[in-house]
Amino acid sequence: MTKRFTTLGRYPTTRLRRNRREEWSRRLIAENKLSVDDLIWPVFVQEGSKSRTPVESMPGVDRLSIDLFVEAAREARDLGIPAIAIFPETDPKAKTPDAREAYNPGNLVCRATAAVKKAVPDIGIMTDVALDPFNSDGHDGIVRNGQILNDESVEALVKQALVQTEAGADIQAPSDMMDGRIGAIRKALDSKGYQHEQIMSYAAKYASAFYNPFRDAIGSSGALKGDKKTYQMDYANSDEALREVGFDIEEGADMVMVKPGLPYLDVVRRVKDAFGVPTYAYQVSGEYAMLRAAADRGWLDWNKVLIETLTGFKRAGCDGILTYGAVDAARLLQSK
Ligand code: PBG
Atom of ligand 1 at shortest range from CA of 175: 16
Ligand 1 pocket mutation, candidates 211, 235, 324, criterion most atoms within 8 A of CB: 211
Share of the chain above pLDDT 90, in %: 93
Write down the pLDDT at residue 2. Answer: 61
Closest among 55, 69, 39 to 289, alpha carbons compared: 55
pTM for the whole structure: 0.96
> Which residue has the CA at smallest separation from atom 2 of ligand 1?
175
* Average pLDDT estimate for 13-23: 96
Q: Is 247 a residue whose pLDDT tops 70? A: yes
| pLDDT, tens digit, 9 for 90 and up, residues 107-131 | 999 999 999 999 999 999 999 999 9
Nearest CA to ligand 1 atom 8: 211
- The distance from CA 20 to its chain's CA centroid, rounded to whole angstroms, is 34
Is 336 a catalytic site residue?
Answer: no
Give 244 Cα–ligand 1 centroid separation in angstroms: 18
Q: Ligand 1 pocket: which residues have CB below 6 Å?
A: 128, 130, 132, 140, 175-176, 211, 214-215, 228, 284-285
Does the annotation mark 225 as catalytic? no
296 close to 59: Cβ distance less than 8 angstroms:
yes
pLDDT of amino acid 5: 66
> In the predicted model, what is the mean pLDDT of the chain?
96
125: left (phi over 0), alpha (psi -120 to 50) or beta: beta
Burial of 239 (0-12, 13-18, 19+ CB in 10 A): exposed
Interval 238-242 mean pLDDT: 98
Q: Which candidate in 117, 159, 228, 259 is catalytic?
A: 259
Atom of ligand 1 nearest to the CA of 213: 14
Beta pairing partners, 84: 41, 125
| Contact criterion met (CB below 8 Å) for 183 and 177 | no
Question: What are the tens digits of pLDDT across the range 195-217?
Answer: 999 999 999 999 999 999 999 99
DSSP secondary structure letters along 137-202? T--SSEEETTEEESHHHHHHHHHHHHHHHHTT-SEEEE-S--TTHHHHHHHHHHHTT-TT-EEEEE
Q: What are phi and psi of 301, to 5 degrees?
A: -95, 110
Between the CA of 218 and the centroid of ligand 1 the distance, in Å, is 9
From the CA of 211, how far away is ligand 1's center (Å)?
6
Q: Are 319 and 280 in contact (CB under 8 A)?
A: yes
Domain boundaries, the chain: 33-335
Q: Is 103 helix (H, G, I), strand (E, B) or coil?
A: helix
**Range name among 1-15, 34-48, 79-93, 132-146 with the lowest pLDDT average:** 1-15
Question: DSSP character for 21?
Answer: S
CA–CA separation, 103 vs 303, rounded Å?
A: 39
DSSP one-letter code for 36: G
Is residue 133 within 8 A of residue 177, CB to CB? The reply is: no
pLDDT at 1 over 60: no
Q: Using 50, 70 and 90 to split pLDDT, how confident is the model at 336?
A: confident
Q: What is the largest CA-CA distance in the chain?
A: 72
Q: Using the Cα atoms of residue 328, residue 329, residue 335 and residue 336 in order, give the sign of their dihedral.
A: positive
Active-site residue (options: 205, 228, 272, 314):
205
Nearest residue (by CA) to ligand 1, atom 6, is 175
* Of 109, 128, 214, 227, best ligand 1 pocket probe by most atoms within 8 Å of the beta carbon: 214
167-187: pLDDT as tens digits: 999 999 999 999 999 999 999
DSSP assignment of 245-302: HHHHHHTT-SEEEEESSGGGHHHHHHHHHHH-S-EEEEE-HHHHHHHHHHHHTTSS-H
Task: State in Å: Cα 179 to ligand 1 middle.
Answer: 17
| Closest among 173, 190, 207, 228 to 286, alpha carbons compared | 207
Say how far apart CA 26 and CA 15 lie, in whole Å: 14
Using the mean position of ligand 1's atoms as its centre, give its distance from the Cα of residue 210 in Å.
9
Confidence category of residue 257, pLDDT binned at 50, 70, 90: very high
pLDDT at 219: 86
190 Cα to the center of ligand 1, angstroms: 27
Ligand 1 atom showing the smallest separation from residue 286 Cα: 14
Specify the pairing of strand 62-65 against strand 39-46: parallel
CA-nearest residue, atom 11 of ligand 1: 211
| Domain 33-335 architecture | Alpha-Beta Barrel (3.20)
Q: How far is the CA of 282 from the centre of ligand 1 (A)?
A: 10
Give the Å distances, CA to CA, from 167 to 98, 105, 127, 149.
22, 8, 10, 27
Confidence of residue 223 (pLDDT cuts 50, 70, 90): confident
